[in-house]
Amino acid sequence: MDRDPPRALLFDVFGTCVDWRSGVIREGEALARRLGLVGVDWGAIAGAWRGRYQPQLETVRSGARPWTTLDVLHREALDGVLAEAGLDAAAVPAAERDGLTLAWHRLDPWPDVVEGLARLRRRSIVAPCSNAHIALVVAMARRAGLVWDAVLGAELARAYKPQPEVYLRSAAALGLAPGDAMMVAAHPDDLAAAAACGLRTAFVPRPAEHGPRHAGDAPPDVPAVELVARDFHDLARLLGG
Amino acid sequence: MDRDPPRALLFDVFGTCVDWRSGVIREGEALARRLGLVGVDWGAIAGAWRGRYQPQLETVRSGARPWTTLDVLHREALDGVLAEAGLDAAAVPAAERDGLTLAWHRLDPWPDVVEGLARLRRRSIVAPCSNAHIALVVAMARRAGLVWDAVLGAELARAYKPQPEVYLRSAAALGLAPGDAMMVAAHPDDLAAAAACGLRTAFVPRPAEHGPRHAGDAPPDVPAVELVARDFHDLARLLGG
């Protein structure tokens, strides 16, 4: 890398740091065992649940509803997802749906993340810049053993990525100009939005994010991305740490 | 303790976690050596600087000025403090004043804090609920080796303690009712305000906060305070950890 390491690394979380699909499947299968449900495709449910995410966020980004945490949005979406899978309120009662919603608090990091993040933190401030609210990120980090210097992102800005204020407010909260922060994500649209705000960018592909039958996101167009790293260890190496 | 440990511990920072007076003296003395200044009472300057803090915050709390970070307020106050000490712009140039303002980012924790906080974190979420802005808390924590689960407090609420929204917003950001969080502070007024919001409270006296010639704050009236702990290790013990 020709440039100095960034003062701060800002991380997308779902998909980039943690494996949401496997975590939802794990908790769904545990629920199914508890309730005696058979033949449920929890991989499909995880995908459908995540698929409702961006349309939901758009209702907040458009101003149609006020800023709302992902716990509320996830819980609302779950009813539709389970109905589509043929699971009604008799099959999965409300209290179980409330519990399953918290699966998003209990996602496992990809194998490189705990150590890689600790390594990256030696040189740069590390903070999530996620659409997840603070309570979710804190619960996830404590369970997984992730150490963040601060929890930034959507709740601080009261906006949702890719709205510019999420990136800009996160850098500003660290006292940094946008160019002193680098967004790290597995999603080209996230990086493109960060780059448009003046942040530096690193793409870390997570080809297993959507399961074995999907390809991961392709590396984004070169102009939007400064670095492409295989994982967080590789990112540390590329940043000279 | 008769009650369960709190889900979260929220900490005052200046005075409770870190020794602001010694840190300012240390940086002032280094500046004096650099500039060849002699006979300056940096302990008096530290006290006078801190003395301007609450009147400054009051201008924000009253709505007379918008929310402003402590870096700006500290820098503004420094000019008056140095003038009172007979140090004009020729004696201490602007760039040195800017640098000295960052002394507040480089304060040392009291001797029990790094280990005590790590011990407390094993059982409860730990987060600062300080009037310091996020960038200051992050810089201080990274330098001192403090690990926080999130950085809450004034900047999140865009208000200054003892305004209720600082305590309430900090607990809410963790998804907690006020009574599931405990405010930890060396200052009775901070604890009284937190208690009025429904938070639990722990008083940790720091008798050296204002230097050797001052007593620390006396333990506050019993109704406002649930626990009195000698230091963070003692607090962990009282909380059963």
* DSSP character string of B93-109: -HHHHHHHHGGGGSPPB
Report the candidate in A195, A175, A173, A176 with the shortest Cα–Cα distance to residue A184. A195
Exposure string of B115-144, with b = 16+ CB inside 10 Å and e = fewer, is ebbebbbebbbbbbbbbbbbbbbbbbbbeb
Using CA atoms, how far apart are residues B117 and A237, in angstroms rounded to an integer? 31
Q: What is the dihedral of CA B78, B114, B133, A185, to 10 degrees?
A: 140
Residue B8 bridge partners (DSSP): B125, B181
Distance, CA of B29 to CA of A154 (rounded, Å) = 42
Residues of chain B numbered 177-196 and touching chain A (CB < 8 Å): none
Residue A226 has which token pair? 């400064």
Chosen for mutation from A151, A152, A170, A174 (greatest number of chain B CBs closer than 10 Å) is A151
Chain A contact for B143 (CB, 8 A cutoff): no
How far apart are alpha carbons B223 and A98 in whole angstroms?
37
As a three-state string, the secondary structure of B34-84 is HHCCCCCCHHHHHHHHHHCHHHHHHHHHCCCCCCCCHHHHHHHHHHHHHHH
Strands (DSSP E) along B77-192, which ranges? 125-130, 152-153, 181-185
Nearest alpha-carbon partner for A148 in A14, A20, A10: A10
- How many C-beta atoms lie closer than 10 Å to residue B42's C-beta? 21
Full pLDDT tens readout for chain B, 241 residues: 568 899 999 999 999 999 999 999 999 999 999 999 999 999 999 999 999 999 999 999 999 999 999 999 999 999 999 999 999 999 999 999 999 999 999 999 999 999 999 999 999 999 999 999 999 999 999 999 999 999 999 999 999 999 999 999 999 999 999 999 999 999 999 999 999 999 999 999 999 999 987 666 666 665 679 999 999 999 999 999 7
First to last CA, chain B: 11
| B118 touches A: beta carbon within 8 Å | no
Asked if B138 lies within 8 A of A149 by C-beta distance, the reply is: yes
Flag whether the ipTM exceeds 0.85.
yes
Is B167 strand, coil or helix? helix
User: In this structure, which topology does domain A8-19+107-238 adopt according to CATH?
Assistant: Rossmann fold (3.40.50)
CA B235, B209, B54: angle at the middle one, nearest 5? 105
Architecture label for domain B20-105? Orthogonal Bundle (1.10)
Tokens of A10: 């800002």
Beta carbons of B71 and A173 less than 8 Å apart: no
Q: What is the pLDDT of residue B4?
A: 87
Mean pLDDT value across chain A? 95
- Spell out the per-residue pLDDT of chain A, length 241, in tens: 568 899 999 999 999 999 999 999 999 999 999 999 999 999 999 999 999 999 999 999 999 999 999 999 999 999 999 999 999 999 999 999 999 999 999 999 999 999 999 999 999 999 999 999 999 999 999 999 999 999 999 999 999 999 999 999 999 999 999 999 999 999 999 999 999 999 999 999 999 999 987 666 666 665 679 999 999 999 999 999 7
Tell how many helices (H) and how many strands (E) occur in chain A: 11, 6
Choosing among B10, B68, B105, B134, which should be mutated to test the A contact, i.e. which has the most A CBs within 10 A?
A: B134
pLDDT of B10-54, one tens digit each? 999 999 999 999 999 999 999 999 999 999 999 999 999 999 999
In this predicted structure, what is the pLDDT of residue A212?
A: 82
- Touching check for A105 and chain B: CB below 8 Å? no
Q: What is the nearest CA distance from B80 to chain A, expressed in angstroms?
A: 25
Å from A127 to nearest chain B CA?
10
Instruction: Give me the pLDDT at residue A220, please.
Output: 60
SS3 helix, strand, coil % of chain A, rounded to 5?
Answer: 50, 10, 40
The contacts of residue B109 (CB under 8 Å, 6+ apart) are B17, B18, B19, B144, B146
**pLDDT on residue A219:** 63
What number of other Cβ atoms are within 10 A of residue A198's Cβ?
Answer: 15
Q: Which chain A residues are Cβ-neighbours of B173 within 8 angstroms?
A: 133-135, 155
What pLDDT does B1 receive?
Answer: 55
A173 with B155: Cβ contact below 8 A? yes
Tokens standing for residue A151: 């929890």
Chain A interface, best mutation among B138, B142, B148, B152, by max A CB count within 10 A = B138
Angle between helix A94-101 and helix A70-84 axes, rounded to 10 deg:
120
What are the residue boundaries of the structural domains of chain B, listed by start? 8-19+107-238, 20-105
Q: How many CB pairs under 8 A join A and B?
A: 52
B9 to chain A, any CB pair closer than 8 A? The answer is no
Interchain contact B133–A (C-beta under 8 A): yes
